[in-house]
Structure 1
Amino acid sequence: MTISAGRSPAPTQATLIRAYTKAQVLEQLRIPVAVISSTIFPALALLFFVIPQQATVQDPIASLTAVAQLALFGVMSAFLFNYGIGVAEDRANPWSSYLRTLPAGPLSSTLARALTAMLFAFIALIPVLILGATLTAAPDAFMSGTLSWWRIPVSIAVWLLCGLPFLALGLFIGYLCTSKVAIAVTQVVFFPLAFAGGMLLPPFLFPDWLNTFSLFLPSRAARDISVQVFTGESIELLSLVTIIVWTLLLGTLALWANRRDQGRRFR
C-alpha cells in the first residue's frame, strides 16, 4: 500500500499579514530611539509650544484645535518616516529583496506595513490626547455638552485616514530613493509641509499669500478636516476635494515608483 505524503496547506493572506505585521513591529521595537522619538515628539511640541499659552489652554475650542493639529502632526510623522525611510532601507536589505521574489505577492507585506504604521501612529496620539485632557480646557467642551463624546473616536479615525496621502508620499520616496537619500528627502519634505499645513502655527497667523497657498496643500487640507471634525465645525468642500486629489495623485506616483523599482531590480 502506498502512502502519499500530505502537503501542508498554503498559508492564507490573513496568516501572511499577521506574520509580516509581527515581524515589522518587532523590527521597529528593536530601534527604541526611533519609536520613542516619533511617539513623544508631537506631545513635546504640545507641551512646550501650546501649554505655556494660557489664552489657548483656557479656551476649550482653541485647545481642541491645538490637540487636533499636533495629533495629525504625529500621524503624518509616523506615516512619512515609516514608509519614506523604512521602504528605502528594505530595498537595500537582501532579505527583503528575497521576500519580494516569493509567490506570496506584495499584498500581504504592504498591508502589514500599513497596519504597523497605523499602530505606531495611534501610539503617537495617546500622549497628545492625555496632555490635552489633563493640561488644557479641551474636556470642558465635552463635559458641558457642547460637543458629543463620540467625536473623540471618530476624530482618531479621521486623523489616521487624513494620513493616507503622506503614507503614499512615503512610499513614493522609499521606492525612488536610496536609504541615505530617503532620510534627507523625508526630513526636507516633512517640516515644510507640516509648517505650511498649519500644524505648528495656526493658519490665521499666516500672511495672506501663505494662507492662500497652503489651502492647496495636502497637509493643510488634512489639518483643516481634522480640526473641523474634532471641534464640531462643518467640513469645507475645498479641504475634502484637496485631500482626495492629493491622495489619488500621490497614490498613483507611489504605484509608479513601485513598478519602476520592480522592473529595474527583478526583471
Structure 2
Amino acid sequence: MASLALTHARFQLLETVRIPMALIGSAFFPAFSMIFFVVPFVGSDPVYATYATASMITFVVMTSNLFQYGIGVAEDRAQPWDPYARTLAVGAGPRFLGRIMAGLILMTASLLPVVVIAAVATEATITLGGFLAAVGAVIVISVPFTLMGLAIGYSLPAKAAIVVAQVLFFPLAFGGGLMTAPGSAPGFVETIAPYLPTGGAARLMWAAVGDFPFDLASTAALVAWTVAFAGVAAWAYRRDEGRRFS
C-alpha cells in the first residue's frame, strides 16, 4: 500500500506542477501580505513580527488545505478516473493517502515564502524550542482544515465547491483574528475568534512561537471543530460512495 500511495502522491504532484498557478496562487496572498503589511508596519518589532508570521502561517495552512481538498476532491469526483480507481481491489486507501501526502508537500511549499520573508525582512525571532513547537502546531492545525476541505469536496459538485471555498476563507481569516495582532482585533472579532477554527489555530500558533498564553477554551473549540469536520467528511464520503456505487 505504501508504494501505491507514493505513486498516487507523485501523480497528484505532477498534476499540480503542470499547472503552476495552483501552487503560486496558494502562496501569493500570504507572501503579499507579509511584504506589504507586515514588513513595513511591524517588521522592526520582534514580538509583533513573530506573531504576524505565525498568523500568516495559519492562513497558509487554512487556504492550502481548504482549496487543495475542497476543490481538488470535487474536481476529481467529476472525472471518470475517480469512480474507476475506487472500484479497484486495493480500494480507495492508497489514493487517499497519496492525496494527503501530496497536500502536505504542497502546503510546505506554500509556507516557505512566508518563513523566508520573515527571516530576511523582519525582526521576527524564535528559539529552537519555539520552532519545534511551531512545527508541531502546524501539523495539529492542518488536521481540521484538511477535514474541512474533504467535507466540502465530497459534499458538493466542483462548481459549488469552488464558490464555498472562496466564500469561506476570508471571513474565517478575519473572524479568527489573523489580520490583526493578538488582542488588537475589533471587539466582536475578539469575542468570536477563540471559538472559530481559525481563531483556535492562530492562538495555538501564537502560544508556540511566543509568550502568548495557552488558551484552553480555544483549543477545546478547535478539537470540537475537528471532530465535527471529521464527521461531516465521513458522512459525505459514504453518501458519495453510496450514490455512485450502490
Band the TM-score falls in, shorter-chain normalisation: over 0.9
> Structure 1 residue 205: deviation in Å?
2.9
- Structure-2 residue corresponding to 1:145: none
Structure 1 residue matching 2:123: 3-state secondary structure = coil
One-letter amino acid of the counterpart of residue 41, structure 1: F
Q: CA separation in 1, counterparts of 2:136 and 2:99?
A: 18
TM-score, length-normalised on structure 1? 0.88
Q: CA separation in 1, counterparts of 2:196 and 2:83?
A: 34
Q: Deviations over 1:212-262 (max 9, x none)?
A: 122211110001101110114442211221111110111110000000000
Alignment of 1:130-145 (within 5 A): 130-139=116-125, 142=126
> Structure 1 residue 210: deviation in Å?
2.5
Q: CA separation in 1, counterparts of 2:236 and 2:56?
A: 30
Unaligned runs of at least 5 residues, structure 1: 1-12, 143-147
Matched, 1:17 2:5: yes
Structure 1 residue matching 2:52: 3-state secondary structure = helix
- Structure-1 residue corresponding to 2:86: 100
Q: Structure 1 residues 93-102 or 228-237, which shifts more?
A: 228-237
> Structure 1 residue 203: deviation in Å?
4.9
> Structure 1 residue 204: deviation in Å?
2.4
The percent identity for this pair of structures is 38
Contact 1:121–1:160, Cα closer than 8 Å, also in 2: no
Contact 1:57–1:137, Cα closer than 8 Å, also in 2: yes
Structure 1 residue matching 2:195: 3-state secondary structure = coil
What do you get for the CA RMSD once the two structures are aligned? 1.3
Q: Deviations over 1:122-154 (max 9, x none)?
A: 111111111111111113xx4xxxxx3232233
Q: Deviations over 1:172-220 (max 9, x none)?
A: 1111111111111100011110111111223523332221122211110
Alignment of 1:216-227 (within 5 A): 216-227=195-206
Alignment of 1:33-112 (within 5 A): 33-53=21-41, 56-112=42-98
One-letter amino acid of the counterpart of residue 86, structure 2: R
- Structure-2 residue corresponding to 1:26: 14
Q: CA separation in 1, counterparts of 2:198 and 2:16?
A: 25
Contact 2:48–2:181, Cα closer than 8 Å, also in 1: no
1:122 to 84, 108, 111: 108
- Structure-1 residue corresponding to 2:178: 199
One-letter amino acid of the counterpart of residue 115, structure 1: M
Q: CA separation in 2, counterparts of 1:155 and 1:132?
A: 14
- Structure-2 residue corresponding to 1:10: none
- Structure-2 residue corresponding to 1:171: 150
Unaligned runs of at least 5 residues, structure 2: none
Q: How many corresponding residue pairs?
A: 246
1:149 to 128, 140, 144: 128
One-letter amino acid of the counterpart of residue 210, structure 1: V
Q: Deviations over 1:45-100 (max 9, x none)?
A: 111111120xx222211111000000111111110000000000000010122101
Kindly name which structure, 1 or 2, has the bigger radius of gyration based on alpha carbons: 1
Q: CA separation in 1, counterparts of 2:67 and 2:61?
A: 10
Structure 2 residue matching 1:204: 3-state secondary structure = coil
> Structure 1 residue 161: deviation in Å?
1.9
Q: CA separation in 2, counterparts of 1:200 and 1:98?
A: 43
One-letter amino acid of the counterpart of residue 216, structure 1: Y
